[in-house]
Amino acid sequence: MSSSRVNLEKCRIPLEEIIQATNDFSEETQVGDGGFGMVYKGKLSENNRLVAIKRLNPSSRQGNVEFKNEVKMVSNFNHPNIIPFIGYCEEANEQIVVYEYATNISLDHHLQDPNKRRCLTWVQRLKICLGAARGIKYLHSGVDEHRRVIHRDVKSANILLDDNMESKICDFGLSRLSPINQPDTHVRTRAAGTRFYMDPVYNERGMLSKESDIYSFGVVMFEISSGMMAYHARRFEETKDQKFLIDIVRSYYDDNEQQLVGGLDKLIDPDIKEHICMSSFHKFNEIAHECINFDIKKRPKLDRIIKAIEEALHIEESWKNVYMLGPKDLYLSWQQNTEYWELGHIPQSRFPEVWILKKVWWLSINGIIAAVKLSEKSTYFAYLVFKTTENCLGLDVPGNSSIISFGGIEMETENVYLQRPNSTKTWQENSVFPHRRMDGWMEIKLGEFEFKEGDDGEVLISFKEFKSEKTGLIVEGIEIRTK
């Protein structure tokens, strides 16, 4: 952050200009309100620039000190994820701060509106969150070598979105400066902020630290992944009581670890549940949960938060470039009989449920992909993605895989092992073994096929083994990737 100071006198905007831009603060130009007063949308005549005009209400809890504090701080900010400061007006008992106008308004505006929330993809949400995290890191990095900015009111309403849906942190009326590189870096001050986002440690003790912003940001992260606002109570199947978002989160993570296995996925926004990679979701929520730890020493640093969000984004974008036949796309022998197979939840899976093998002799896993979902003039590899339990049996016996592609062309592979046998004497020279992926799942190549121009129809992919009784296999799906 630059230590150079802006000449505030040059940033003054005449009240007459403000009145003209807002049509004398008419209702038609109002775009928001808060504890400070009203926000208006208008254009400045000097450069026809669209701006947000924040007008302090004289009876607001944010007074003269907060106004001067905000103007002094924001005039020196310079970061792509901080809303740009345009100028201010202090004239005729009016106190006004002018910012660049964010055309897509605020994050909470999108999350509260079911139609707008439905349009927010998981990738967009991750990018919005990533930008906000970078903006907060900038504030915490320091206005100079001695002081940093603690926002003190991080919430989805204070994360604006520009025309590219890029995050812009705003509203610094409650922000405070904090010392850097000292053993005790908290600031003693009366608790202020927004109730459902406020750090409980700060609220109880009046000790403000950068970790207070981390807590608030964790709440925002859970709003993003659940589609539920922090201040809206909701009732779940397990209880008749209505709970607020963070209480629900804690009940799944902290109060009953057994509920976490099946219950955590109920925190996914239903509008994106069927369209996201679950391992990306879990990576994101894990770091969000660390942010709301009651022990401030256990809250993650912003560098680690940013890295985790980047990893969640990478997982999701990589998954989008891969076609996956998920559990519900597969055809398994005896899958309708719960004595042999059952659908269950595995936290590490990208899907809400996966197939869990209880016991079969006749193992047959099949998937079909239509040509319309593939790219012409490409060669594809098909992989079975799975896990095994500690007490699995019979998976070290070789099976066969086959791919029947366009025109009935069949490619068959023998000696395909789901588990490497202990004895090397049973191995064949052409044996195919699985390997562990970075996401913790195992995968084994079932074969490959070519999709030529003009090909039509479907591709059938199979794995079969009928020689022994088998248990302890967890099947996530068949992944199809270009060569």
Binding residues: 54
What six digits make up the tokens of 197? Answer: 């986002």
Maximum CA pair distance of the chain?
A: 93
Give the phi and the psi of residue 478 in degrees, each rounded to 5.
-115, 120
- Secondary structure element (H or E) that encloses residue 72, with its range: helix 64-74
- Residue 26 CB coordination number (10 Å): 11
Sequence letter at residue 391: N
End-to-end Cα, the chain, rounded Å? 45
Q: How far apart are CA 70 and CA 68, in angstroms?
A: 5
Q: How far apart are CA 160 and CA 141, in angstroms?
A: 21
Angle at 477 between CA 430 and CA 389, to 5 degrees: 80
Half-sphere exposure of 105 (CA within 13 A, CB side): 16
Ordered DSSP codes for 148-202: EEE-S---GGGEEE-TT--EEE---TT-EEEESS-S---EE----S-GGGS-HHH
Q: Are strands 354-357 and 341-344 parallel, antiparallel or unpaired?
A: antiparallel
Those residues with Cβ within 8 angstroms of residue 441's Cβ, 6 or more apart along the chain or in another chain: 348, 385, 386, 387, 476
Residues marked as binding for ATP? 54
Active-site positions read 153
CA dihedral 96, 99, 101, 105 (to 10 degrees): -80
Using only C-alpha atoms, what is the Rg of the chain?
28
| CB-based contact 20:45 (threshold 8 Å) | yes
| Secondary structure of 365-417 as H, E, C letters | EEEEEEHHHCCCCEEEEEEEEEEEEEEEECCCCCEEEEEECHHHCEEEEEEEC
Q: How far apart are CA 99 and CA 18, in angstroms?
A: 12
Sign of CA dihedral 121, 127, 128, 130: positive
Q: Are strands 176-179 and 30-34 parallel, antiparallel or unpaired?
A: unpaired
State whether residue 346 is helix, strand or coil: coil
Strand ranges in 196-308 using DSSP code E only, listed in sequence order:
207-208, 234-235, 242-243
